Amino acid sequence: MKRVAIALVVAIVAAIVAVRMSASSGERGQSTGGLAAPQEPPPREDPEEDAAASPAKVHFMRKFVAALTAPPENLMPAAAYAPLLKDGAPPIGCVDCHKSMDVEAKLATDPGPDAAQRFRMRRNFMVPLMEKWVARLNKRHADRLRKEVTCTDCHAQDPRDDAALLRTFSPLMMSFVSALRERPRNENPAKQWKPLLKDPRDSSMLCAECHGQEGAAMEKALPALGRSPLPKQDRTFMIRLMERWVHELNRRMKDRLVRAVGCTDCHEIDPRK
């Protein structure tokens, strides 16, 4: 009995020493660049959202393929866009990469722009997706392309360039959000402007309505940027951007708005005319 007790004590001590050594090794690994203690995998996204992502990819793939021959439909289209396929080259379609797929059945899952929009607003979803598609396009279909395709063939700015996006979008977003509460500052402001929020004092996170946690962080940072002049932008880019923002505003915040917002709520003359 005495031997059993001694063996049990030894086993417990050995276990404690092993645990401490493992923790110490993990700390050293993190501080010196060596092997760190295993980390738990990050939690998966909402399963329902995972299921919705696949149809959204179908929607974006259709836009991606269409942009090879026609001006792209994105939030910041390249002003100097030119067709990316050579004259007379066979069109590129889904079966060029997905030969075993029932294309017609897959295309039928396209949820449409409204349902796919929440994925478009997530850079950590869109950027890797487009990088993969562009790399595959250049690798498999170089013989049909005029040149190697890059992000700026379809976008006014590289979506991966954080600094450029901050310079462009932050002042515009600040102006757009501010115009819900105070007189808009654009080149032809509406003379009869009135606050667009039911409660003009409403200061809850407006950016987060569309951008989630990223939007909440962005809105906290916006005031620190100051009232910088609005950067001059290509007209096509501005119209498409504002149309999207107004659409999302009306869709997501209708319970907080006096009424559905239109261009002439902030502009004396509709910029699209």
The tokens of 230 are what? Answer: 């609005």
Question: Helix (H, G, I), strand (E, B), or coil: what is residue 191?
Answer: coil
Question: What's 228's DSSP letter?
Answer: P
| Per-residue pLDDT, 22 | 40
Nearby residues of 163 by Cβ (< 8 Å), 6 or more positions away: none
With a threshold of 0.75, does the pTM exceed it? no
At 18, the pLDDT band (50, 70, 90 cuts) reads very low
149: alpha, beta or left, given left = phi > 0 and alpha = psi -120 to 50?
beta
CA neighbor of 249 nearest in space, from 150, 121, 157, 91: 121
269 CA to centre of own chain = 31
Report the distance separating Cα 47 and Cα 44, nearest Å. Answer: 8
Per mean pLDDT, which of 6-20, 23-37, 90-104, 127-141 is the most reliable?
A: 127-141
List, in sequence order, the alpha helices (H) in 181-260. Answer: 208-221, 235-252
| Per-residue pLDDT, 157 | 86
CA neighbor of 133 nearest in space, from 97, 89, 95, 108: 97
Q: Is 203 exposed, middle or buried (0-12, 13-18, 19+ CB in 10 A)?
A: exposed
| Per-residue pLDDT, 214 | 66
pLDDT in tens, 88-99: 999 998 888 887
Q: What ranges do the domains of the chain cover?
A: 47-153, 162-265
Report the distance separating Cα 262 and Cα 272, nearest Å. Answer: 12
Report the distance separating Cα 30 and Cα 252, nearest Å. Answer: 43
**Contact between 133 and 67 (Cβ < 8 Å):** no
pLDDT in tens, 126-150: 999 999 999 999 999 999 999 999 9
pLDDT in tens, 238-264: 888 888 889 888 988 889 999 999 999
Report the distance separating Cα 261 and Cα 245, nearest Å. Answer: 10
Q: What burial letters (b/e) apply to 157-195, b meaning 16+ CB within 10 Å? A: bebeeeeeeeebbbbbbbbbeebbeeebebeeebeebeb
Which is more confidently placed, 14 or 261?
A: 261
